[in-house]
Amino acid sequence: MARLIFRRLLEAIPILWIVATLAFLLARAAPGGPFDRESPLPPEVKAAVEAHYGLDKPLIEQYGAFLKNLATANLGPSYKYPGWSVQELIADKFPVSLELGLWALVVALIVGLGAGLLAASRPNSPRDHGAMGLAVVGICLPTFVLAPLLLWVFAIKLGWFNAMGYASGADIVLPALTLGLYFGAFIARLTRGSMLEVRNQDFMRTARAKGAGFSRAYLLHATRNALGSVVSYLGPTVAGLLTGSFVVETVFQIPGLGRFFVSAALDRDYPMVLGTVVFYAALILLCNLLADLALAWLNPRLRKNG
């Protein structure tokens, strides 16, 4: 187990390097530059600003400087917010997204596993169809519909919550529900599918034959084994949840990291693009590692070959 972790951490370095390089090339290949505006800067001014950020140097030199900075964990200044550095902004915004993401994850797991197990406990019954029907509604109510709906009911009509902002504890409820229900619907579907798959396998029959009560066998053995595909799904999903969502942060006006992923690319804020991509990549690697560890724990036979 320790060897697995060590190896994956070691592997992370070349992966991050490749991701950073690809992102660097992608960002530079996109049309337009960071200092294009509705009314263009006079050419000499634009040249001066670009020279200040070293954008006048050959690309390979810029790449070298970027890698050197990256190695020292310096992500550079944001072009869009000249008074802030990229790591400052990430450090400032990530905790917000993290908190929101964790709550959303809790909602997603409760709703997803709950509905999935419920549906799988009696397949093709009204209970199954009801739970799964709700899950489908959850999937086809995308966040940009669900969020305004929740806001309309709970903030405008009932006045229980603020319509935007992230100042008090109650402000987290609606965004966490919005994000969580969406992913919960996916988890519900996956859980039900895997549960049904596992139900009919040898060891389940063995467990039942050995006299374990249905519900005990069901919960202990089946759940543990059925969680595999859910956990695989969760790896990258959690990374996405924790780094925030563009739509949810925009609709609820939450100062999280999610908006930077889209806006940095749209604004051609190169250091911000690279900073968020590298950060996200590192987080994904971490989450996938955790997912794999969880998979190994769930399925002991994988452990020895891991």
Partner 1 sequence: MADTRDMLSAPSLSPRAQAWGRLRRNKAAVAGAVGVCVLMAACFLGGFLWPQDPAAQELSNALSSPSLSHPLGTDALGRDMLARVLQGGRVSFAVGLLGTAVSLVIGVFYGMFSGWRGGRTDALMMRLIDIAYALPFTLFVMLLMVVFGRQFWLIFVAIGAVQWLTMARIVRGETLALKQRSFVEASRVLGQNGRGIFKKHLLPNLAGTIAIYATLTVPTVMLLEAFLSFLGLGVQAPLTSWGDLIKDGAVLMEEAPWLLIFPSLAFSLTLLGLNFLGDGLRDALDPRRGEK
Partner 2 sequence: MRARILNCFLFAAALCLLCVGCAPKETQALEAARQGVLIIGNGTDPEDLDPHIITGLPEAHILWGLFEGLVNLDGKTLAPIPGAAERWEVSEDKKTYRFFLNENAKWSDGVPVSARDFEFSLARALTPSLGSKYAAMLFCIKNARDVFSGKQAPSALGVKALDEHTLEIELERPTAGFLAILANPIAFPVREDVLRAHGDPFTRGSRWTRAGNLVSNGPFSLAYWSVNDKVELRKNPHYWDADKVSLNAIRFLPISDQTTEERAWRAGQLHLTDSIPLNKIDRYRDEPCARFAPWLGSYYYIFNTQRPPLDDPKVRRALALAIDKDAIVRVVLKGAHIPARHFVPEGTADFFPPQTGLGHDPELARRLLAEAGYGADKKEFPSLSILYNTSDMHRPVAQAVQAMWKKELGIDVALLNVSWGAYLSMRGEGDFDIARASWVADINDPANFFENFRGGNPLNRTSWKSERFDELLQQAERTDDNARRTRAFAQAEEILDDETPLIPIFHYNRAYLVRPEVKNWDTNILDQRPLKFVRLEGAQE
**CB–CB of 170/258 below 8 Å?**
no
Is residue 129 within the footprint of partner 2 (CB under 8 A)?
no
Residue pair 224/68 in contact (Cβ under 8 Å)? The answer is no
Is residue 124 a contact residue for partner 1 (CB under 8 A)? yes
Interacting residues of 89 by C-beta distance below 8 A, sequence separation 6+:
78, 81, 260, 272, 275
Q: How far apart are CA 129 and CA 271, in angstroms?
A: 49
The backbone torsions φ and ψ at residue 240, rounded to the nearest 5 degrees and listed phi first, read: -65, -40
Q: Is 101 in the site for partner 2 (CB under 8 A)?
A: no
DSSP assignments along 152-208, one per residue = IIIIIIS--S-SS-SSSGGGGHHHHHHHHHHHHHHHHHHHHHHHHHHHTSHHHHHHH
295 binds, among partner 1, partner 2, none (CB under 5 to 8 A by kind): partner 1
Contact flag: residue 189 with partner 1 (CB under 8 A):
yes
Q: Show the tokens assigned to 134.
A: 């709700």
> Which residue ranges make up the site for partner 1 (CB under 8 A)?
11, 15, 18-19, 22-23, 26-27, 29-31, 123-124, 129, 132-133, 135-137, 139-142, 144-145, 148-149, 152, 186, 189-190, 192-194, 196-197, 200-202, 205, 228-229, 231-233, 235-236, 239, 247, 261-262, 265-266, 273, 276-277, 280-281, 284-285, 288, 295, 299, 301-302, 305
- Interface positions with partner 2 (CB under 8 A): 30-33, 35-46, 48-49, 51-52, 77, 80-84, 89, 92-93, 110-111, 114, 117-118, 121, 127, 148, 151-152, 154-156, 159-166, 169-170, 173, 177, 215, 218-219, 250-253, 255-256, 259, 266-268
